[in-house]
């Protein structure tokens, strides 16, 4: 999946050093779920890469900008009655911020989710202070569905979660 200089591809073990370097950043971790470790080590990177290589269908991808790993993007397919839904999650390494990379990567993986994974709905939960992520979703046609007040606890603070969604028919 490519769009100009942006490519979404399978993670490789050769990405381990760059992944660990970029993900080991408190500013990135502040907007991620707590199950993602901080500090983020090379072992954490290797474990994650191995996990993604076992996915069937593929749900997690490297984001590449000018042939360099610059972030990760995933669609987490839901289960049971939500099986045609996926939660999107993504992050871009700080040296790459401000280049429109996440906007293009979200567009690519949204199309992948609807066309290749046969999803009906993709949604995202965004921490209240992550305005940049909200703008990325809005630029890609996602609609704010709700604000879950005081739903998140991160770094000892209680935050609102802004929930966005897009439907397959929104892509037609």
Q: Global pTM?
A: 0.93
Note the pLDDT of residue 50.
97
Output the domain CATH number for residue 19: 3.40.630.30
- Span 111-147, pLDDT tens digits: 999 999 999 999 999 999 999 999 999 999 999 999 9
Note the pLDDT of residue 172.
60
- Span 22-71, pLDDT tens digits: 999 999 999 999 999 999 999 999 999 999 999 999 999 999 999 999 99
Q: Which of 54, 126, 64 is nearest to 99 (CA)?
A: 64
Domain limits at 48? 2-171
pLDDT band at 104 (very low <50, low <70, confident <90, very high): very high
Q: How many domains does the chain have?
A: 1
The Cα 20–Cα 34 span in angstroms is 16
Structure tokens at 71: 């972030």
Q: Which of 61, 54, 47 is nearest to 2 (CA)?
A: 61
């Amino acid at each position: 999946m490519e769009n100009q200089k942006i490519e979404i591809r399978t993670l490789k073990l050769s990405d381990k050093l760059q992944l660990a370097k970029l993900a080991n950043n408190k500013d990135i971790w502040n907007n991620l779920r707590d199950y993602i470790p901080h500090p983020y080590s090379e072992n954490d990177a290797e474990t994650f890469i191995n996990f993604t290589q076992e996915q069937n269908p593929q749900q997690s991808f490297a984001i590449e900008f000018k042939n360099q790993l610059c972030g990760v993007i995933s669609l987490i397919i839901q289960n049971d009655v939500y099986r045609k839904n996926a939660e999107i999650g993504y992050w871009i390494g700080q040296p790459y911020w401000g280049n429109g990379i996440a906007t293009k990567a979200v567009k690519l993986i949204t199309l992948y989710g609807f066309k290749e994974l046969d999803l009906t709905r993709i949604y995202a939960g965004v921490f209240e202070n992550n305005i940049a992520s909200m703008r990325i979703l809005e630029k890609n046609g996602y609609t704010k569905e709700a604000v879950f007040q005081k739903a998140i606890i991160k770094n000892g603070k209680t935050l609102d979660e802004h929930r966005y969604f897009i439907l397959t028919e929104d892509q037609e």
